[in-house]
Each structure stands twice: as C-alpha cells, then as structure tokens.
Amino acid sequence: MMVVWVHSLYVIPDVVERLGAQYFVPNSAVAIFFLISGFVMVVATTKKEMTPVEFFRLRLIRVVPLYWLATIAMIAIAMIASVMSGHSFKGMSYPPSAIAKSLLFVPYAAIEGVPGSVWPIVQQGWTLNYEMFFYALFALSLAAPRRFRLPALASTLGSLAVIGGLFGPFANPLAGVYTSSMLLALVAGMILAHAWMRAGSWAWLPLSLLFIAFGFYAIGSRNSVFVTMSGAFIIFAGCLHPKICALQNRPLMELGNASYSIYLIHQFVLEALAWTWLRVFPLATWASSVFFMALALMLCAVAGLLCYRFIERPLTSKLLEFVR
C-alpha cells in the first residue's frame, strides 16, 4: 500500500503539488518487501527441507502466472490503443526483445541511454527481477549442507553489493541490478529470520513499539540509503515481537494475502481512475486531491482482493495440484 500511495500521488497532474511528496523514500517500501522475502524464504525452508528444484518450482508457481497475465494485459492494452489511434500493431511500443526479457525477468533499460530506466513492461515488476535472481541463488544454496547455506548466500549477496558500491553504478542493466545495494535488504531479512528462530520468545525486544516508531522516523529522514534501509529493518524487527505477532485482524490478513495482486494490478486501476477523474475534475484542488488519494487506495485494495480471490489463488492452487 506504500507503493500504491507513491504511484497515486503522481498518476494525475498537480496532486503531489497540492499534498506534498510522500513522507518516506520509495525504496524504503521495497526494502521492507525484500526483508520479508529474505525472512520468509529462510523460515519456510528451515521448517520443511526442500530440494533446489522443488524450491524453485514453488517460487515459479507463486510468482510467474499472475505476473505473466499482467504483462500480457499490458501488451494487449498497448495493441488496442495503437489500433484505435490509427496505427498498426507494428507501431506498438513493446518490441519482441522487451516482451521476452520482461517475461523471463531479465533486467533491461526500457529507455535506451537512461540507466535508471531498468524496468519491464509492467514497470513495478522491476523488483521481481531482484526476486528471481535471489530465488535462483537461494535454490543453489539448498544443495549445500544446512550450516553453510546462510553464510554462503549472505556472503555472495553482500559481496555483490560491495562490488556495486565500490565500482558502480554500472551502465549495464544486468550488472546494475545484480550489484545493487538493495540486495542487502534480502540479506538482512535472512539474518533476521535466523536470529528470530534461535531467540524463541524475543524477550530482547520489549520496546518494539518504540523500535517501530523510530523506524518510521528513519525512513522519512531522507538522509541516506543506509538510514532509510535501517529504518525498514527496525520496523520489521519490531513487528516480530510475540505480542504483535499474536494480533489477529481479518481485514489486514486478507489485505496481506492479496498484497501480490495489489502490487501487480494497481497501476491498471490507477490509470483507469486517472483517465476518468481528469474528465470530471480537470483542475486539482487540495480537497479533490485528498478525495482522489482516498479513492485510489480503496479501489486498488478492492481490485487486488478480487484479483487474489478469483484469479491468483485459484490459478496457484490448480498449478500446485498439477505439479503434485
């Protein structure tokens, strides 16, 4: 929802001018996402031993189908828009190489000559390029004895980040992504999972709410990437206190279950809403901007929940049944 908030601010003109830029650095939201990913992968594979092939197969089933559907939908929309504007299919903006790289999670520069434009056809899918790289390395690590897995994988990812820090940023999209400092969030999540499973009750985090509050202060400080990523780490660590973990809230659980659907389809919702909104409210005011943001967040959450219930969950279940 932090990602939805950021994108909602910029989807129509003048909203960000009326409300101000987002409080937090956008990468702090991604850092929390990567922390969760590293954490969950370690906990899941510790509780149940998996082979590299089994692990990677399950990750593909979890990530690929909905992402491919979103990519195909984006391509179809581009084709329809191209035809409706009087152009042929040949004039659409997605060349075959971009389609292939997007579907196969290969980082590439969407805009030639602009190193910061490394995103696929579904732009928010840039994080999945990191995830699939991480999954591939994690799968390989499962072939090693258990005691060597975390040190080997953490050292590998950490070394790549250090190379990027010392010699980067690299113009080549592959080198840029695979040596990014964002990899450290995955490492932090794995280490946190290891500590959490060993610590038991986590009595050493009695001030979790203070930790979380300080973490939110840090991600809004904009001092440095290190500070904002540290803030994301503190927030996540604070939420692992047993009393917080024991909280049960059905709406939030459902929202969490639908998070992947929300993440992938929210841009479709925002673009459709913006197209309609500008025809009703061509001039942005403070009040209309607040209403737009509230409506955008609500519609993206509802659309994501519907996508999860009727597309993502049934599709994933069928594929899991098939492979078993």
Give how far Cα 36 sits from Cα of 18, 223, 265, Å: 33, 23, 20
pLDDT number for residue 115:
66
Listed range (26-35, 138-147, 158-167) with the worst mean pLDDT:
26-35
pLDDT number for residue 91:
46
pLDDT number for residue 89:
46
Report whether pLDDT(146) > 50.
yes
Number of helices (H), then strands (E), belonging to the chain: the values are 16, 0
| Enclosing H/E stretch for 269 | helix 259-280
Distance CA 36, CA 25 (A): 18
Report whether pLDDT(157) > 90.
yes
Report whether pLDDT(222) > 70.
no
Listed range (164-178, 201-215, 222-236) with the worst mean pLDDT:
201-215
pLDDT number for residue 197:
84
Distance CA 221, CA 161 (A): 23
Distance CA 113, CA 107 (A): 14
Give how far Cα 112 sits from Cα of 109, 171, 263, 294, Å: 6, 11, 26, 36
pLDDT number for residue 120:
94
Report whether pLDDT(152) > 80.
yes
Considering just the CA atoms, what is the radius of gyration of the chain in Å?
A: 21
Report whether pLDDT(205) > 60.
no
Give the other-Cβ count within 10 Å of 71's Cβ: 19
Report whether pLDDT(82) > 50.
yes
What number is the average pLDDT over the span 98-106? 95
pLDDT number for residue 206:
58
Instruction: Give the helix ranges, DSSP H, for 21-145.
Output: 26-47, 52-84, 96-103, 126-141
When comparing pLDDT for 312 and 2, which is higher? 312
Backbone angles phi, psi at 118, to 5 degrees: -85, 90
* Cis previous bond, 169, omega within 30: yes
The pTM assigned to this predicted structure is 0.89
Listed range (11-25, 201-215, 219-233, 246-260) with the worst mean pLDDT:
201-215
Report whether pLDDT(100) > 90.
yes
Distance CA 317, CA 314 (A): 5
Domain count for the chain, please give it: 1
Distance CA 36, CA 188 (A): 9
Q: Is 74 helix (H, G, I), strand (E, B) or coil?
A: helix
When comparing pLDDT for 160 and 24, which is higher? 160
Q: What is the mean pLDDT of the chain?
A: 87
Distance CA 108, CA 121 (A): 10
What number is the average pLDDT over the span 204-222? 66
Give how far Cα 141 sits from Cα of 65, 137, 156, 247, Å: 25, 6, 10, 33
Quick: pLDDT tens for 261-291. Answer: 999 999 999 999 999 999 988 888 899 999 9
Quick one: tokens of 51? 């082979």
Q: Which residue range forms the structural domain that includes residue 161?
A: 2-323
CB 121 within 8 A of CB 71: yes
CB 219 within 8 A of CB 231: yes
What number is the average pLDDT over the span 301-322? 95
Report whether pLDDT(155) > 70.
yes
Residue 109's beta-bridge partner residues? 118
Report whether pLDDT(209) > 70.
no
